[in-house]
Amino acid sequence: MKPQVSGVVSSKLRNDMLEVKFGDGTEGRLPFVWLRDNCQCPQCFSVEALGRKLLMDDLDVEVQPTEVEETMDGLMVKWSDGHQSEYSTNWLQNRSFTPTSRALHRERYALRREPWGAEHTMKNFDYNTLMSDDRVLLDWLLTMERKGSAMVKNAPKKDVAGPELIEHIAFVKQSHYGPHSPVINRPNSNNVAFTNAKLGLHNDLPAYEHMPGIIFIQCLAQHPGAGGESIVTDGLFAAEELRRKRPEDFKILSSTDMYFWDKGHANYSWEMPEFYKIAKFPVIKVNGNNEVVQIAVSNTTRDSHMDLPPQEVKKYYAAYKRFYIILSANAMTFKMEQGDMMTLDNVRCLHGRESYDADSQRHIETSYLDWDEARCRRRRLQEKFGCFI
Amino acid sequence: MKPQVSGVVSSKLRNDMLEVKFGDGTEGRLPFVWLRDNCQCPQCFSVEALGRKLLMDDLDVEVQPTEVEETMDGLMVKWSDGHQSEYSTNWLQNRSFTPTSRALHRERYALRREPWGAEHTMKNFDYNTLMSDDRVLLDWLLTMERKGSAMVKNAPKKDVAGPELIEHIAFVKQSHYGPHSPVINRPNSNNVAFTNAKLGLHNDLPAYEHMPGIIFIQCLAQHPGAGGESIVTDGLFAAEELRRKRPEDFKILSSTDMYFWDKGHANYSWEMPEFYKIAKFPVIKVNGNNEVVQIAVSNTTRDSHMDLPPQEVKKYYAAYKRFYIILSANAMTFKMEQGDMMTLDNVRCLHGRESYDADSQRHIETSYLDWDEARCRRRRLQEKFGCFI
């Protein structure tokens, strides 16, 4: 009887790597030290904790296989340190250092974001369905990661509706404004948002190094007539526009640290009695691959202190203003209704609002959820529904 | 009578800047657009919210002064956009773009860290004094920022002692392990830490993009006899050693993203029922000025997925191992006693522990506080005691 074509069908040692061919024809190059480091035996790895038990002290970077056996289940390797390891085909293929396996894990980590301009329409979700149907919750999580924005309809008229939805997902990211924060016109306000003034496009809380990942903006009461309209734009879209059209501006904004600050006193009992935050990073934050990972824009909390030589300041402002114009030119304007709860990727999308009458009963509540927790829930739901990419 | 030498004594317009001389002889070069942007009048700035009201839409980057008047209190400027601004001497001097004023704000933002090696002794603080004496609390905050480590003695024997101290400072940074987490040997554990195994040097929760800033490690019961000793090292010190001695290794570790993951199920009711975290960043994270801002080392949660071409993997491991050897060579070893609570800068210092007997009653509790909140409290206390640098 012909053996099934599965497992590892051939392997060859070359350049500190095992070159393997799997039964389905795919190949992989597996570095020796990586294979030994990731031995899946109970001595090296805990299946209960899903964590590596092998200590760094005990890993020999020069470790070599002394014997390799291709099995129907995968690979067996005997090592120069006397240890013996077994690896399943599936485990190896998932981690075979091929462009495909690397790309798959990149998506498991974080989904590819899809930039959008002024023509964008937010996808609608129903509050109660999000609270009761995990498939819809997963759809919201996928939408938020890809589009950075979604509208939740029919939120209950209570100030903790945002936190309750967040607690259903994971838990609230607290700030010095409390677990949720009423955006209303109030006297002696500790934040310009808590007045009736127009608010320029901004991300929330850039005075935090750990800016909140997702903002939940719930409308408990809207201002009737003109005023109070929301303005929303995709900072990722604008940043890529800037990079394309004004690469020098992009360079300045992504390499120059700005301070943001937020100082004040409590308006409500659950707030900290006094706060004085300062954070410092570029307005456009990129990672080592020059990918945009965070936008931080806020005219309200942009610090008057600047850590620049004075001769570079005007050039900085000019770049910043041009970026702001792109942000504005690609924004959408709409008016939230009572029961609406807008959800935005706060390190990507910016929001603002038009001014409204001082004696309005307009009442917005904001609360936050971190991306660490949102992505965590997305992965768990993808596993639950067997739809992991 | 001779006028007092104060205020601004002279000013000159040059290259889009106002060159000013203050009464005390110091000078400053103040860019026009920056001055206009930071007008302190009630129309442009809210003294209640301490935030800028001037919108970016309304700022003209090419704005010019039409009239400048030096006053005993500071400066009066009339602008080409018709606006008029006044600035106090003190406000201007604080922001005069000189190396001194820039350095002062840098320290207000974050204190200079002082690296240390194996000879280091942690400063001792008393739990009850921290809870009752804000001057001592400020000393602890300053110590934590500079040294990244301190020992709190006489913590009460209850599992929420850490969270209570944190709530006295600001509020707890929650993770999927809950607001506090018992480190004990338990069956079917969701983390290798919750076993009796030796733990290599690590930072806590690198599977979070937003790694907790400060870890509170409280000893409720220590293992008698040999075992359970703590090992602590300064990652900043080791990273600078690596940069000096092996610049190529430093380059690899600071420019190559690593995945960290943490997957599991709840051990306790207040934990999330299931979690699946993945974060990605270099083991040594540097900012735009190539300063080390975060260390992320954890053999337990280092992901077996690596987003590298296979031919770069061995070189990476070799650099990582050499870094780990420096971390270990400069570590201190000691044994915590009941009532001790070690506090560490978790994005800088690493900790580990020796193994201990499986049936030990050893009980450690960990909880977290973010640097955003700790630095906030430090600034507020510095203001309170008039000792702002």
Say if B117 falls within a structural domain. no
CB-based contact B321 A375, cutoff 8 Å: no
Say if B2 falls within a structural domain. no
B209 and B234 share one domain: yes
Instruction: Find the domain containing A25 and state its range.
Output: 8-109
A180 and A72 share one domain: no
Tokens describing residue A180: 């949720």
Of residues A364 and B267, more confidently modeled: A364
Rounded to two decimals, the ipTM of the complex is 0.96
Looking up residue B52, the CATH number of its domain turns out to be 3.30.2020.30
Say if A98 falls within a structural domain. yes
CB-based contact B272 A190, cutoff 8 Å: no
| Tens digits of pLDDT across chain A (389 residues) | 344 446 777 888 999 999 999 988 899 999 999 999 999 999 999 999 999 999 999 999 999 999 999 988 899 999 999 999 999 999 999 999 999 999 999 999 999 999 999 999 999 999 999 999 999 999 999 999 999 999 999 999 999 999 999 999 999 999 999 999 999 998 888 889 888 999 999 999 999 999 999 999 999 999 999 999 999 999 999 999 999 999 999 999 999 999 999 999 987 767 788 999 999 999 999 998 899 999 999 999 999 999 999 999 999 999 999 999 999 999 999 999 999 999 999 999 999 999 999 999 999 999 999 999 999 999 999 999 988 75
Residue B382 scores a pLDDT above 90: yes
Chain A residue whose CA is closest to B278? A109
- Least CB–CB distance from A50: residue in B208, B264, B380: B264
Work out the average pLDDT over B209-235: 97
B86 and B12 share one domain: yes
Looking up residue A373, the CATH number of its domain turns out to be 3.60.130.10
Q: How far is B45 from chain A (nearest CA, A)?
A: 9
CA trace torsion A313, A318, A323, A326 (10° rounding): 170
A-B CB pairs within 8 A amount to 253
Question: Cα(A293)–Cα(A287) distance, rounded to whole angstroms?
Answer: 6
Say if A33 falls within a structural domain. yes
Q: What is the pLDDT of residues B20-56, one digit of tens each?
A: 999 888 999 999 999 999 999 999 999 999 999 999 9
Question: Cα(A354)–Cα(A229) distance, rounded to whole angstroms?
Answer: 5
Spell out which residues of chain A touch residue B51, defining contact as CB-CB under 8 Å: 191-192, 262, 300-301
A166 and A94 share one domain: no
Q: What pLDDT shows up at residue B267?
A: 79
Work out the average pLDDT over B98-118: 96
B153 and B265 share one domain: yes
Q: How far is A331 from chain B (nearest CA, A)?
A: 14
Query: Which one of B109, B143, B167 terminates a domain?
Result: B109
CB-based contact B46 A280, cutoff 8 Å: no
Of residues B8 and B158, more confidently modeled: B158
Say if B115 falls within a structural domain. no
B227 and B365 share one domain: yes
A267 and A308 share one domain: yes
B145 and B99 share one domain: no
Angle at CA A296, nearest 5°, toward A294 and A302? 160
Question: Cα(B201)–Cα(B203) distance, rounded to whole angstroms?
Answer: 7
Long-range contact set of residues B64-73: C-beta below 8 Å, sequence gap at least 24: B64/B32, B65/B13, B65/B18, B65/B32, B65/B35, B68/B11, B68/B13, B68/B18, B70/B7, B70/B8, B70/B9, B70/B10, B70/B11, B70/B20, B71/B7, B71/B8, B72/B3, B72/B4, B72/B6, B72/B7, B73/B7
Tokens describing residue B19: 């060159």
Q: What pLDDT shows up at residue B6?
A: 65
B290 and B220 share one domain: yes
Q: How far is B187 from chain A (nearest CA, A)?
A: 9
Q: What does each C-alpha distance from B367 to A200, A256, B182, B183, B217 come to in angstroms?
A: 38, 34, 9, 11, 7
Spell out which residues of chain A touch residue B137, defining contact as CB-CB under 8 Å: none
Q: What is the pLDDT of residues A211-247, one digit of tens each?
A: 999 999 999 999 999 999 999 999 999 999 999 999 9
B83 and B226 share one domain: no
Say if B1 falls within a structural domain. no
Q: What is the pLDDT of residues B317-337, one digit of tens each?
A: 999 999 999 999 999 999 999
Phi, psi of A161 (to 5 degrees): -60, -40
Q: How many domains does chain A have?
A: 2
Query: Which one of A61, A78, A109 terminates a domain?
Result: A109
Rg (CA), chain A: 26
CB-based contact B313 A257, cutoff 8 Å: no
DSSP secondary structure of A221-239 = EPPSSS---EEEEEHHHHH
Work out the average pLDDT over B238-253: 98
Say if A193 falls within a structural domain. yes
- Least CB–CB distance from B48: residue in A94, A188, A313: A188
Q: What pLDDT shows up at residue B2?
A: 40
Residue B3 scores a pLDDT above 50: no
Say if B31 falls within a structural domain. yes
CB-based contact A33 B255, cutoff 8 Å: no
Question: Cα(B375)–Cα(B360) distance, rounded to whole angstroms?
Answer: 38
Query: Which one of B75, B109, B143 terminates a domain?
Result: B109
Q: What pLDDT shows up at residue B178?
A: 92
User: Within A170-214, where are the H helices?
Assistant: none
Which among B335, B263, B267 is positioned nearest to B305, based on CA atoms?
B263
Q: How far is A158 from chain B (nearest CA, A)?
A: 24
B129 and B93 share one domain: no
A279 and A360 share one domain: yes
Angle between helical axes of B235-245 and B247-255 (0-180°, round to 10): 130
